Amino acid sequence: MEINRSEMLQWALREQERYIRGFVDGEGWPAFYRTRSARAHHKPGYISSRAVFVSNTNKALLENIRAMLSEMGINSKLYLDTKAGVRRSTITSWKLAILGRDNLLRFRDRIGFSDAGKSGTLTAMLDSYRKHGSESPMRSMW
């Protein structure tokens, strides 16, 4: 049964949070890693990814989730992940990205993950932020 956007947004806030948690437990993951190469602007050892991603082939569903997150003060971006017929992809899929310390903190506090591994990775990701700025403790002093 397809749920329309207006119906989902009418749910009680607690129901929206539970729905999103269940969805991201299955379709989402925290991405937290340091780069190993010196390609592009990255330097080895620097943190190159801190995000929570949610991937699905149903763009409308991800748009609904994005709208619910927005109502909770959690900003996210929706973009095309893979297009059917390109490379080895047989189906078009979309990815929702939650980026930035404040959005990740709100996500942890409002939604979180039920899975202990994903939850631990999210905690480590948030703990890696320094109090005032930089992404890496290896950052030079000048």
Query: Following CA atoms 5, 90, 23, 99 in sequence, which dihedral angle do they give, to the nearest 10 degrees?
Result: -90
Number of H helices, E strands in the chain: 5, 4
- Percentage of the chain beyond pLDDT 90 is 57
pLDDT of residue 81: 86
Residue 137 — very low, low, confident or very high, per pLDDT cuts 50/70/90? very low
Handedness of CA 11, 117, 103, 26 (dihedral sign): negative
Residue 99 — very low, low, confident or very high, per pLDDT cuts 50/70/90? very high
pLDDT of residue 135: 47
pLDDT of residue 39: 58
Per-residue pLDDT tens digits for 21-49:
999 999 999 998 765 555 555 455 555 67
Residue 141 — very low, low, confident or very high, per pLDDT cuts 50/70/90? very low
Strand order from edge to edge, sheet including 28-34: 28-34, 47-56, 93-99, 77-82
Q: Which of 76, 71, 69 is nearest to 52 (CA)?
A: 76
Quote the tokens at residue 28.
Answer: 């989402």
pLDDT of residue 103: 96
CB atoms within 10 A of CB 53: 18
pTM above 0.85, yes or no: no
Mean pLDDT score of the chain: 82
CB atoms within 10 A of CB 6: 9
Q: Worst-scoring range by mean pLDDT, 44-48, 56-60, 94-98?
A: 44-48
* Domains along the chain with CATH numbers: 5-36+44-127 (3.10.28.10)
Amino acid at site 39? R
